[in-house]
C-alpha cells in the first residue's frame, strides 16, 4: 500500500517517528497523501534541495505502477 510506504520511509527518516502521520485523500483518479511531521523533522523528509522528498516521490511512482494506482505526496507541517 502506498500510504504504508510513505509512512515507513518517513518514520525511518525522522527523529520523532511517533509524530508522523499520513492522511489519505482519495480522489477520482489520484490519491493525495499528506505527510505530516513536526517542524524539526521537516528537513529530514524534504532533504537538501528537496532531494529526499523527490526520492520518496520516485518510490511512490514505482509502487503506483505495481499497484496500478496513482498517488501524490504532499508534505505538511504539523500544528
Partner 1 sequence: MHQYIEVEENTTEEALEAALKELGVSREQVSVRVLHEPTKGILGLGAKLAKIRVTLKEDISSTPEAILHEILSHIGLEAEIESQIINGSVHLTVSTDNPGILIGKHGQTLNAVEYLLNCILNRSSLVKKKVFVDAEGYRERREQTLVDLAHRAAAKVKQTHQEIVLEPMPPRDRRIIHVTLQSDEDIRTYSRGEGMMRRVAVTTREGYEPNAKQYD
**Among 4, 24, 40, 77, interactor with partner 1 by CB under 8 A:** 4
Under the binding rule (CB under 8 A), the answer on residue 76 touching partner 1 is: no
Under the binding rule (CB under 8 A), the answer on residue 59 touching partner 1 is: yes
Spatial separation of the C-alpha atoms in residues 34 and 76, rounded to whole Å: 7
Q: Alpha carbon of 79 to those of 36, 55, 62: distances in Å?
A: 9, 25, 31
- C-alpha cell of residue 1: 500500500
Under the binding rule (CB under 8 A), the answer on residue 24 touching partner 1 is: no
Strand partners, 29: none
Residues that bind partner 1 (CB under 8 A): 1, 4-5, 8-9, 12-13, 47, 49, 51-52, 54-56, 58-59, 61-63, 65-67
Amino acid at each position: 500500500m502506498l500510504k504504508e510506504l510513505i509512512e515507513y520511509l518517513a518514520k525511518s527518516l525522522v527523529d520523532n517517528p511517533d509524530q508522523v502521520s499520513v492522511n489519505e485523500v482519495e480522489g477520482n483518479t489520484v490519491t493525495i497523501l499528506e505527510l505530516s511531521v513536526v517542524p524539526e523533522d521537516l528537513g529530514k523528509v524534504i532533504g537538501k534541495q528537496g532531494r529526499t522528498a523527490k526520492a520518496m516521490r520516485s518510490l511512490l511512482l514505482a509502487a503506483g505502477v505495481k499497484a496500478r494506482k496513482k498517488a501524490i505526496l504532499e508534505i505538511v507541517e504539523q500544528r
